[in-house]
Amino acid sequence: MSTTISEVAPEILEHAADPGEYEPVSVERRYEDPRATIDRDRSKHWFKRLFPILWVNKWPFSIAIGGMVLSMLFGVAVPALIGKAIDALPAAVTDGESSTLFTFLGILVTLATLRLVIGFFAMYQMSRVSNQLEGDLRSVIYNHLVTLSFSFYDRIQTGQVISRANSDIRAIQMFLMMSPMMLTSVLSFTFAAAYMASVSVTLTLAAMISTPIVYLLSMKLRKLMFPLSWLTQARQADVAVIVDENINGQRIVKSFAQEGNQLNLLARAAKQLQWVQVRSVDISALYNPLIENITVLGQVLVWIYGGWLVIDGQIQLGALVAFNMYIMMLQMPFRFLGMLLQMEQRARASAGRIFEILDEEPEVRDRDDTITLTHPKGHLKFDNVRFGYKDEQILRGLTFEVNAGETVAIVGRTGSGKSTIVRLLSRFYEIGDGAISIDDVDIRDLATKSLHYHVGQVLDEPFLFSVSIRDNIAYGKPDATMEEIIVAATAAQAHDFIMQTEDGYDTVVGERGYTLSGGQRQRLGIARALLLNPPILVLDDATSAIDVTVEKAIHEALLRLMENRTTILIAHRLSTISLADRVILLDEGMAVATGTHRELMASVPRYREVLAQQNRQIGEPEPDDAEQMDDESDGEYRRRIAAIVRSTPKPDDFPGGGAR
């Protein structure tokens, strides 16, 4: 087992180092972290969980709410003033007392102007707050996504993540922008009802006779719309998944002539989305007109009963006119209520889908007292490691060591766990049992950024971003000079084909680098690793798609790259195995044999069988026909290449290079 932290030599380790030290980003930071995150209490209402993100904008939000309330108060005062002006009109006409009438008119113009200015400013502030909340929530989701373990991405579809980070956030943003308008309409309802009650209680009751019916209909609508809102967001995500897979998998779709089948899949998903949306429209078309128009019943009663009161002299005509204007304010919350309930249900469903991501806990976490490697020697040890994906056990007590500076090839059948070793060494997954150590330090005691900084990887299918070739090579070292980038590309045998592209190093590759061949992408991946120059290097079948002639030239660079550093080769080709000092044979998740290529060929039949099977798959000569390669594997091949590469630059020779 690995030694304890206290037993490790202090010159190798450094405690409590700044994690940012190991972020290889030397460019100016242009983003801001979200100022708040959601409430982690899952028992709370969805809005309460989002409230911390909203509350960081409390001042502009409060100003917006205050402005909307003030604008509403000016609006509530208008009908009463109009009623007073109507009552003053006879005196102005018969007695010539027009000053009172003009006073009311002047006040009305002033209120209208103030309401316009304040209402505009309030809506502007509310729009800013809602869009800021959208941006903060998007940042919260992305910041959380980068902390999640690979196991999360193994079980979720890309389209689902994209949908939740876009349309679901927009649904919440729209609701939070519209809900204050509902608040002000409720306040206007309260003030209007108070004024109406001061004029005539019975007439007010007649105007509000439909309110209980509207409430019951609104609650029924809310109950029906929530499951439909959830389904709508889920179906939209399903469509996004199909579109994403079709775009990224166009080569497969076309090569198997499955365009029609994929269109059928999309049509089926779109049909399911259409059914949910049509069902939502059907319910809205039934309930919203009822909610909006049933209030007309109160208006009819006001005109009939109020007219009788005016004739009887119990109220003035101006009061009746004001009453009818206030009825519009009574109706406004109910006009908003149906639409707002639909938005609230969609926002609630969207929040639930977002919380499914934000409530996900990463399986791989830094411990409280992490340490960082400063100058690792590179001694690796797998001690009885057990690991499986879900219910499928992959590694069953894997044990082996790699000495500092040693190059080891790992060979095994498909599914034996070779690539899993790479993922566990970088701690992309948490091991089930056993321990993995670097220089006798358990990797679970290391800060993950420190671990990733010192363990470089070149995968069989390197991921390229849709940016320039230069930026892809310099991804791990954005401040690299052009000279460093060219040296790395030349060593990886990529410089010549780069210069043949339209814009050279400024050529923008297509999404995932699909405008380049597989071999070209692998060479750029190798150049990226050469530039970063890590002390521990893992090559996961990194030259599988490269022509044999080009591969030999790349091996020249790799021999210099592997010099004085620990290297693990996940190998299939004999030419790659020949680069190794030692070979480890993997079978059913265990290391069953180790030795040089010649030793294993002579004494381990299973090793010979694995090579024969792999060579048939890639079209190389089988071991029986590969005596020359077998002889070269004891060192002849390495010595021949070493003689060639003495004149080629080492990574240490790079401008600003050298092992970190």
DSSP tag of 546? S
Give the pTM: 0.66
Query: How is residue 95 annotated by DSSP?
Result: S
As a whole number of Å, the end-to-end CA separation of the chain is 28
Domain extents in the chain: 46-358, 404-416+461-577+590-653
pLDDT at 129: 87
Burial of 634 (0-12, 13-18, 19+ CB in 10 A): middle
pLDDT of residue 435: 93
When mean pLDDT is compared across 173-187, 597-611, 623-637, the lowest value belongs to 623-637
3-state secondary structure of 539: strand
Confidence at 583, pLDDT banded by 50, 70, 90 = very high
Query: In Å, what is the CA distance from 188 to each residue of 23, 73, 198, 225, 333?
Result: 55, 7, 15, 27, 9
80, amino acid identity:
A
507 closest CA partner among 458, 472, 545: 472
E strands present in 465-515: none
* Residue 646 scores a pLDDT above 60: no
165-189 burial: b if 16+ Cβ within 10 Å, else e: bbbbbebbbbbbbbbbbbebbebbb
- What phi and psi values does residue 346 have, to the nearest 5 degrees? -65, -40
Query: Which tops the pLDDT comparison, 630 or 322?
Result: 322
Give the residues across from 587 on adjacent strands.
590
DSSP string, 12-75: TEEET--GGGG----S-------S------TTS-HHHHHHHHHHTTHHHHHHHHHHHHHHHHHH
Give whichever of 151-155, 198-202, 427-431 has the largest mean pLDDT.
427-431
pLDDT, one tens digit per residue, over 587-606 is 888 999 999 888 888 888 88
CATH superfamily of the domain spanning 46-358: ABC transporter type 1, transmembrane domain (1.20.1560.10)
Superfamily of domain 404-416+461-577+590-653: P-loop containing nucleotide triphosphate hydrolases (3.40.50.300)
The mean pLDDT of 275-302, rounded to a whole number, is 80
> Is the pLDDT assigned to residue 303 strictly greater than 70?
yes
Is a pLDDT exceeding 50 seen at residue 586? yes
Query: What is the residue-averaged pLDDT of the chain?
Result: 77
